[in-house]
Structure 1
Amino acid sequence: MNQQNFDFEKVQQKVQQKKYQQGILLICSAVIVTVLLFLAVPKILNHFFYNPTSQNSYVENNQYIIDRQFYNELTLPNYDMTDVTIEQTGVGTYQIKETYSYKYDNQIVGSNTIEIKRNKLYLRNSDFHPFTPPFSQETAPSNQLSDQKIAKADEALAKSNLRENIKPLPKSTYVNVNLVFKEDKSIDAYQEWLRVNTTGADTLWQAVRPSQKTSDAANNPVVVGFNPAGSFSGISVGITNEKKLNEDFPLLISYLANTEQNQWTEEKRQTTHFKSLLQYLIKNERFLTQDPSKIQATTLKNILADVNKNGLKIYGVTLYLPAFELENILRNDAIKSAVITKVDVFPLTSQSGQLPGITYPPEK
């Protein structure tokens, strides 16, 4: 047998090469694991925080939009959110810009830029200042008799001045107005009052009388109400399960009504819609808890209990109607106060310029 020489250097090279390959494999594995962790950990952590871009049981994505739409219907008599952008800027952190316009109008009145940072909301910039009087003033009446007399005198003077300001307007002028009644009305009573006193009025919002328990964090009475039509007038939302939404929250959105619901009385339909509006926000209270200044679920539960016990009563409305009809309404004893929030003027050049469906009084 021939004795083979043992090549120590060659063996050493093979061992070093194997170690080198193992080192490369370990480094690649570490890089892959690091990348996977870098991608996965934020997604895992995001599950612990409110995500405004995520879906829920009813909408395909951006659940913040539908949550905000319902909250705005509850609290904003005169405005719609007509545009919104949502950008994730970190783990559990999102920047949101909301743009607002007058109801059923493209005229932008302002915007909010907010940041949701790990379940807390911060207002970063805002030039949108919603106008809610006289509804907010109405929820805090004075108990002093002298104050009540002064308030009545001021209200009568304000109504008289408003009538005088309306008179010079062209008869084709339309206005948005917030009206407060001297006495609360049921839905049926309001519908009858509207039929008798107007011909071309559109009810945009109805203010619901809150109970004594319905105060915000600063112990101020809250202003709540709803759109009697029960439909979005701002941004549309993609709903993935319409049947389930209508079963869980009947008539929350009017066009989802089934055959039976379409046969209900107007009072039952509107009461059901308002209760579903409250119930939806109560169930989705994670949206509310981001911002302590919002009406919280406990207050909404008190309002719901009050409606279940005493029925739905409204103390004010937001109307869109011809100015000359408002002039007549201001003479009505049922009206306590009125504030115009928007004016649309369409000067007439001929009778053919009149808007359809309205009988105008003769020009003076």
Structure 2
Amino acid sequence: MDVPPDELEGALREMLSRRAAVPRAVAADPAGAAIRRANRVQRRRTVAGMGLALAAIVTVSAGSLQLRDDRPPEGGTVVIGDPDRPPFVERTIPPPGPDTAPPLAEVDLILDGAIATAQGRRVPLHGTGDVERVHRLTDGRGWLAIGAPNLAGRVLWAIAADGTAQVLLAGADEIVLDADGRQVAWKQGTVLAAAGIVNGELATTVRAEVPDEAVPLRFVNGAVLVRLTTDGPGHALWPLRPGPLDQGTDRASTHIFGALPDGRLVGGITPGAGRSACLTLLDPARGLAPARPGCGPELAGDSRGAVSPDGRWLLVNGRSAGEDSALLVDLTKLDTPTGVRPAGPPMTGTVVWRTPDTAYYADAAGGLVRVAVDLVAAGRPAVPNALPGLPPGELPVVVSGG
């Protein structure tokens, strides 16, 4: 064959390359067998997994039905969400600090430098000194406390839930709060002022000129009741307007304890020289003149007393059967002897109406007295209860509000 070597080599290379490109069937295919075996294993695992998932769903469903019949554990907080699902119970752990103990009463109390709350907590007061009156805020964020008088005057404290205190007002001769703890009035020298309490601060202060002996007593129907002299009769209402105080014409009222729903005030007057003060109703529209003829029950005690929130009852210090006593007066029966009942030992400090038919106060021995209207009306006066942990000689302070 007369073929050059280089052409023969090229032809040989082309033939071999064509043969390599033609696929040939092989007797054995190990890769394909491995793939097929893996697919079979995967199918078996999928079927087994679906079976296990179905069993788990049945088990959880049975447990959910059982949980629906169980009551949430005690001491937990129930979080209410979807009404078609069982409630999720979140365990609550008391925060460190204030101790938790069985509550002493339905109201907060100041005992031995701490606030014993109606929920059983004990909140120490930090740096306030002696407090004379305390009001619990309705939003649950703490309390407002009025300090006892001293050479520097009274102080109004804002007390947080952990007991830390902040001064809102200092150096006042007298301080009073409204029933909601949203307004404060105070007197300093010859200036009578009032302000709102917003986020722990005083706002929108109004001032008036008053006699040096005038003293604010309480808020009544949006106005401030002012006693004109410290040792004589006569009151006036300040409608929170700037300028000199209009002293009005009342020079007969000795005490004023609160208001009725129709605006009339429950107070005491002296009907004449040498006669004892007696209960009556006063009309603010006529300069606090008596709104009814004659006098009701006689008053033989101090000025401690308060009208119930619904205006039906008056709890006041007086005398019963020749002895000093707290009296429960039915304000719808001022003209009848059955309208007055002995309610318990004489009051000291502040009387607080917890509900329209339940009141609390402290007696001179440091006991806590709970007056239930239905029991007193049935002839069963209240008796004082000793408070554990109260130092000898110290009186508890009943907290208002809340």
Q: Which has the higher strand share?
A: 2
Larger Rg: 2
TM-score relative to the length of structure 2: 0.25
Q: Which has the higher helix share?
A: 1
TM-score relative to the length of structure 1: 0.27
